[in-house]
Structure 1
Amino acid sequence: MSQYRLNLFIQPEHAKRLDELAAKKGVSKSSIVAAALASWLSPDAGDQREAAIAKRLDRLSRQTERMERDQNIQIETLALFVRYFLTVSTPVPEAHQEAARAQGKARFEQFVEQLGRHLLRGRSLVRDVVEERHPDTARMDDAAALAEAQERAS
């Protein structure tokens, strides 16, 4: 196959990067430039880039939808709990208000400490409960998460 000789000017930083890449890959600078030019001139190159971007955007959209769903579940759970708590809690008599505040403060501090320990474990309480109640489903979720992570890596 005959080749066409071409002299061109490029910016010094591009020349440096081209030299480094050629040395690192163990190929000639001409072959790198030829491959880049072929990719640039290929009619499929734009379609391939667009397909890759669309795939990433789809994955990001699914992740965002899952986060929105999870956030809505959390909001509804909290609202339901607050409504339940306010419905079943009896009012504290005026004479016991100070003791109730002190006990509430102590309980809150204990809650924050427990939350800190739980977060350090790196596990989700909801996930722990789901695994206890439905061990087979939890394993399927782990497999789905692993498959999704492998898809992201490719």
Structure 2
Amino acid sequence: MKTLKTRHQFYLPDDLSETLAALAAKPGASKTAILTDALRAWLERKAGHELDERFGPRLDRQQRIAQRSEATLNAMAEMLDLFVAHQLTLVAHQPPFDEETGRLGLQRYRRFMDQVARRLASNRGALRLAGSTAVKEDGA
């Protein structure tokens, strides 16, 4: 009769052999079942380590990208906050705008938005942090 199991013969240290015998003495337990479960768990844990080695660097790189993106977003939020606060305090004491000033402001706003659109389209919209020089376009 053919079995689905292969016989193995190996040696265990005495203390480990005694522990195995004590575990196998419990009802419903056997040395074969205990060693099979232990070997399967050990092999599966090794496979998990292989996955960590395989995908770990990629996940680390993705985490660094996410951290840089978060830092960039935080810097942009701080800059916007500072700019809005500056503008609100700068224009707080000025007289109301007349029609000509409104047209000039709208014209400047449209030029600014066109410049932003061009930079984003040319992939030059990357954030430039402290120490960088601003590039002037259209004489603005």
Q: Which runs of 4+ in 1 moved over 6 A?
A: none
Corresponding residue for residue 54 of structure 2: 52
Between the two structures, name the one with larger relative contact order (CA 8 Å, sep ≥ 6): 2
- 1:76 CA displacement: 0.6
Compared CA separation, residues 128 and 57, structure 1 to 2 (3 A): closer
1:131/1:98 Cα in 2 relative to 1: closer, same or farther (>3 Å)? closer
1:69 and 2:71 correspond: yes
Q: Which runs of 5+ in 2 are unaligned?
A: 1-42, 135-140
- CA gap 1:84/1:119 in 2 versus in 1, 3 angstroms: same
Q: Residue 93 of structure 1: SS of its match in structure 2?
A: coil
Structure 1 unaligned blocks of 5 or more: 1-40, 134-154
Change (3 A) 1:100 1:90: farther
Once the two structures are TM-superposed, the CA of residue 56 in structure 1 deviates from its matched residue by 1.9
**Number of aligned pairs?**
92
CA shift for structure 1 position 69:
1.1
- CA displacement, residues 58-83 of structure 1 (integer Å, 9 cap, x when unaligned): 22111111111111111011101111
TM-superposed deviation, 1:117: 2.2
Query: How do 1:138-153 residues align onto structure 2 when only pairs under 5 Å count?
Result: none
Q: Does 1:114 align with 2:115?
A: yes
| Aligned 1:1-154 pairs, distance under 5 A | 45-94=47-96, 96-124=97-125, 126-127=127-128, 130=131, 132=133
> Matched residues in 1 for 2:98 and 2:124: separation?
37
Q: 1:118 to 1:102 in 2, by over 3 A?
A: same
Provide the C-alpha distance between the structure 1 equivalents of 2:67 and 2:126, rounded to a whole number of angstroms: 22
Which structure would you say has the larger Rg?
2
Aligned to 1:138: none
Q: CA RMSD in A?
A: 3.2
Bigger proportion of residues as helix: 1
How far the C-alpha of 1:111 sits from its partner, in A, is 0.9
CA distance in 2, matches of 1:42, 1:75: 46
Structure 1 residues 83 and 121: CA distance shift in structure 2, 3 A: same
Q: CA 1:119–1:43 in structure 2 vs 1: closer, same or farther (change >3 Å)?
A: closer
Mapped to 2, the partners of 1:62 and 1:51 lie a distance apart of: 17
Q: CA deviation at 1:101?
A: 2.3
